[in-house]
Amino acid sequence: MPGPSPSQQRSALGSLVLIAAVVAFGAGAFAYTAGWLSPGRLTSTKLVSALAPPGGPALGHRRNHAKGVCFTGVFEANGNGVALSRATVFAAGQYPVVGRFNLATPDPNAADPTVRVRGLGVQISTPDGEVWRMAMIDPPVFAVSTPQGFYELLQAAGSKDPAAMKTFVGAHPEFAAFGEWATKAPWTASYAEVTFNGLNAFIFTDGAGNEHAVRWSLRADAQAMPITSEDFAKLGPNHLEDEIAERVATSPQRWTLVLTVAEPSDPTSDPTKAWPPERRTVEAGTLVVQKVEPEADGPCRDINFDPTILPDGIKVSDDPFPAARSAAYAKSFDLRTSEASHYPRTAASVKP
């Protein structure tokens, strides 16, 4: 069977280049950076700076995923998760949640239809004082396989060299899977219809001391209603925030926490590689979103959704990205909270 013609190859590459340009900032749900790569190569300061749009960062806001809305609710654990982890959060019961729906953009005023990647930050607290924070996005795989690769993506997207993005895509064949999702996955007009994925592997330790490599997803219970990007654009620039607030006010919205367990042959350090669909899964409970409120005074405003904040029974794996994200998130948090005159808040929250 003949392969693609040169014109088809150029067309496919052109599509990926366009996608890369669009999502270079959007994919920053995983702000991969840290000085651990080696001195002088990649630091949190470099990475966070690279996330800024041409006009500079939006002062007082998160340096990425700047547009978002807070929510509160509960995690209803069904007890099934104890087979994989001794963490209290998996024992049957209800645990309070603070979270944030968001768009992967450094612009807090971006129109919803201009951002392809959607995110979800979640914090679950348990009576023993443990906290589990997670930051997820909706693509099934990430755009690049290394922290350095992500930095190079940002550099290429911001370069004035017209060949920069083409060169980047050619040097990173793993980008193709993400590009396929970005161009072909259906849009939806509600956060409630989105399944969010934690693309990094973590190690769960059960009560007997056995370790399991796990990735997780929050699978939407609401039926997804596909919409074209053109029709979505007609709904307005802030539709997602308005719609989820109205939907939750009518009825709590639910997501099922699905834990996927790796086999020994599955890669745990590369988020561009999906695990086979036949892997064992465990439905560990339900996230119930009960109230949505604006971020300016919402309970999520001052939370840094650092993915290395983990309860006993869950720890990082050989995947280097959570530590890198932690460094970038901390840098972003320090910057936005220090910009007091710009920090988003309503007049009612400002104390004299």
Q: pTM for the complete prediction? A: 0.86
For the four alpha carbons of 257, 263, 269 and 274, in that order, the dihedral sign comes to negative
Query: Rounded distance, CA 21 to CA 346, Å?
Result: 34
Closest residue by Cα to residue 134 from 318, 316, 336, 275: 316
pLDDT at 344: 65
Query: Rounded distance, CA 186 to CA 228, Å?
Result: 7
Q: Is 110 helix (H, G, I), strand (E, B) or coil?
A: coil
List beta partners, residue 227: 187
pLDDT at 37: 40
Q: Which amino acid is at 147?
A: P
Closest residue by Cα to residue 192 from 69, 61, 62, 64: 69
- Structure tokens that stand for 76 in this block: 């209803």
Structure letter (DSSP) for residue 81: G
List beta partners, residue 73: 97, 289
Structure letter (DSSP) for residue 146: S
pLDDT at 288: 98
- Estimate the share of the chain in helix, then strand, then coil, as percent rounded to the nearest 5: 30, 25, 45
Query: Rounded distance, CA 39 to CA 126, Å?
Result: 38
CB 170, CB 153: distance < 8 Å: no
pLDDT at 146: 83
Q: For the chain, list residues with pLDDT below 50.
A: 1-39, 347-352
pLDDT at 22: 45
